[in-house]
Chains A and B, each alone.
Chain A
Amino acid sequence: MAWEMVVGLEVHAQLLTDTKIFCGCSARFGAEPNSQVCPVCMGLPGALPVLNRKVVEYTLKVALATHCRVAPFSRFARKNYFYPDLPKGYQISQYELPILEHGWLEVTGADGGAKRIGITRIHMEEDAGKLLHPETPGADYSLVDLNRACVPLIEIVSEPDIRSPKEAAEYVRRLREILVYLGVCDGNMNEGSLRVDANVSVRPKGETRLGTRTEIKNLNSFKFLEQALAYEAERQIDLLETGGEVVQETRLFDTQKGITLSMRSKEEAHDYRYFPDPDLPPVVIDPAWIERVQADLPELPDDKRRRFQDEHGLPAQDADLLCQSRDLADYFEAAVRLHHNPKAVANWIMGYVLRELNKEGAPPITEAPVTPEHLAGMLDLVRKGEISTNIAKTVFDEMWATGKPPEVVVEEKGLRQITDTSAIEALVDEVLARNPKEVEAYRAGKTKLLGFFVGQVMRATKGKADPQAVNRLVREKLGAGP
């Protein structure tokens, strides 16, 4: 029997605000334990939450980028459960009235065409703290750090529209790209700024009802996401084909073994007892607010890709690559504004700038020592014939190493192209005089030796001569050839 997998994803994205969602503590990652904690986020008696306006604004940006409907009236609810990383004994989240609903994202479907993945809802909530498990032998305790407690998250819940691990990964990639473009999330999956849970089921192809699903928690890389989904679908199909049944449960992905495992817990089934949080008045969004956010919205990746093809005449592949991040695209456009040859700029960025960055562990392009201005300046020098393409590579390396502008590098290193024909002529004469045998052979018909002579001259000029001029002069001196 042919089977198909059905996947819906729940993505938690940490918002890049300066402070937490309900208090003024810093939301930055990596501080000393419990150093970014106040009465509100540690759940002291009497403390009360106050919503960070920026969290709402960021969420509205996401709404516009994911075609969601903004609820004119939404509110927060308490999700009640006990856990040591949850200082109040409840998480402030949204339940029956989330701020965003009914959106979609486009991915490339199995047939290569565009496919829409529905977004059921997006809601705002607070993160929990962090549990640490000391590895000292016999340690029968855990430690709680509340720095992360109350950090703002949005949870993005997709429809069960995804049909393959690849599609799932692409959906997350697109989503991540949008969030990073909007500047609302850093997209860092290692540090947990983006966390993915997957609901997976399988059904015979053609069947329209959904099968029993399992939920796989914490798939925190694209690789693990794809592996886990492939494994889980296979496991469910095996079960069903051998007369077994899929049990609705939460499973964990074992990254070592590449398998999913049941998280059988002796805990009773969860009953979160959601109810509207009486401490937080409703959030009401008027159209004017949405318009203000819209006016402030950056160009989104899909629009940018299209424009890079139309306006800059780039091939789809180049546009795709350059639009991976807003900074990279901005870098490209900054250089193109100064040097009006988009393809040349694109080639240099993809071939050299990204290669060098990757060597250094792929820091963001804003940290590249060669600025767009310097890159454009260097390409201007090539176009004006002041340096050769070959020399340009030397100039680039030097700019990368020192951060100096191209004119300075060319000047200091004496790399300006030799365009004085008489100087080149003298060098050609010298080379021919030093190599009588090769001259003889050339004239006898071994024309391949032309390259040898040109190379000798170029070496003598340390590459600064115009190779075409050298070529022409060598030919002339050797005669038209045999």
Chain B
Amino acid sequence: MGIPREDVLHVARLARLDLTDEEIKGFAGQLSAILDYVAKLDELDLSDTEPMAHVHEAVNAFREDRVRPPLGQETVLANAPEAEDGCFRVPKVIEA
């Protein structure tokens, strides 16, 4: 099963990855090979099996509604590629 180029491009768009032509070709082949391999899961009859999202049966991990100290504006912005007026600065967002 090969993955069409358009599908690779669609997934790259969803994942916000700018791929070169070579990468697109490479991934199309490699993803196909991996998906062919994982198709072996189809050998199993899973109709009576519940999907497992968590390995333990633990539930209800809560915290109490108590305020903890924040990092502080300066620390929050310390690693930012660009900051201004106490905010992260980003290329203009056309509001949806």
Contact = CB atoms under 8 A, between A and B. Distances in A.
Interface of A: 17-19, 23-26, 32-39, 42, 50-54, 56, 75, 82-84, 131-133, 139-146, 250, 263, 265, 267-268, 271, 273, 276, 278, 280-284
A131 B64 contact: no
Contact of B76 (A37, A53, A141, A271): A37
Nearest to B53: A276
B88 A24 contact: no
Contact of A133 (B64, B70, B95): B95
Interface in B62-96: 62-68, 70-73, 76-77, 82, 84-96
Given A25-B68, A141-B91, A268-B10, A51 B73 contact: no
Contacts of B92: 133, 139-142
Contacts of A51: 61-63
Contacts of B10: 268
Contacts of B67: 18-19, 24-26
A32 B86 contact: yes
Interface hub of B13, B54, B65, B73 (most chain A Cβ within 10 A): B65
A283 B61 CA distance: 8
B61 A50 contact: yes
Secondary structure at chain B's binding surface: helix, strand, loop or mixed?
Answer: loop
A18 B65 contact: yes
Contacts, number: 130
A53 B62 contact: yes
A263 B61 CA distance: 40
A142 B91 contact: yes
B44 interface: no
Nearest to A272: B14
A25 to B, nearest CB: 5
A3 to B, nearest CB: 30
Given A144-B87, A268-B10, A273-B14, A24 B61 contact: no
A299 B39 CA distance: 57
Contact of A36 (B70, B82, B87, B90): B70
Contacts of A263: 96
Contacts of A82: 16
B41 interface: no
Contacts of A282: 54, 59-60
B63 A84 contact: no
Interface in B35-69: 53-54, 56, 58-68
A23 B65 CA distance: 9
A38 to B, nearest CB: 5
A24 B58 CA distance: 22
B12 to A, nearest CB: 11
A38 B58 CA distance: 26
Given A33-B85, A82-B16, A24 B73 contact: no
B66 to A, nearest CB: 6
Contact of A50 (B58, B62, B87, B88): B62
Contact of B70 (A18, A37, A265, A280): A37
Contacts of A54: 64-65
Given A34-B77, A84-B90, A17 B68 contact: no
Contacts of B63: 24, 50-53
11 contacts: A24-B68, A33-B87, A36-B70, A37-B71, A50-B63, A53-B62, A84-B93, A143-B89, A250-B96, A263-B96, A268-B14
A54 B63 CA distance: 9
Contact of B65 (A53, A139, A145, A280): A53
Contact of A19 (B66, B76, B95): B66
A142 B72 contact: no
Contacts of A52: 62-65
A263 B53 CA distance: 36
B53 to A, nearest CB: 4
A48 B24 CA distance: 33
Contacts of B95: 131, 133
A281 B64 CA distance: 16
Contact of A143 (B66, B72, B88): B88
Contacts of B85: 33, 143
Contacts of A36: 70
Nearest to A144: B88
Contacts of B53: 75, 276, 278
Given A33-B73, A84-B90, A143-B88, A56 B62 contact: yes
Nearest to A22: B63
Contacts of B62: 50-53, 56
Given A32-B73, A278-B53, A280-B61, A131 B66 contact: no
A23 B16 CA distance: 28
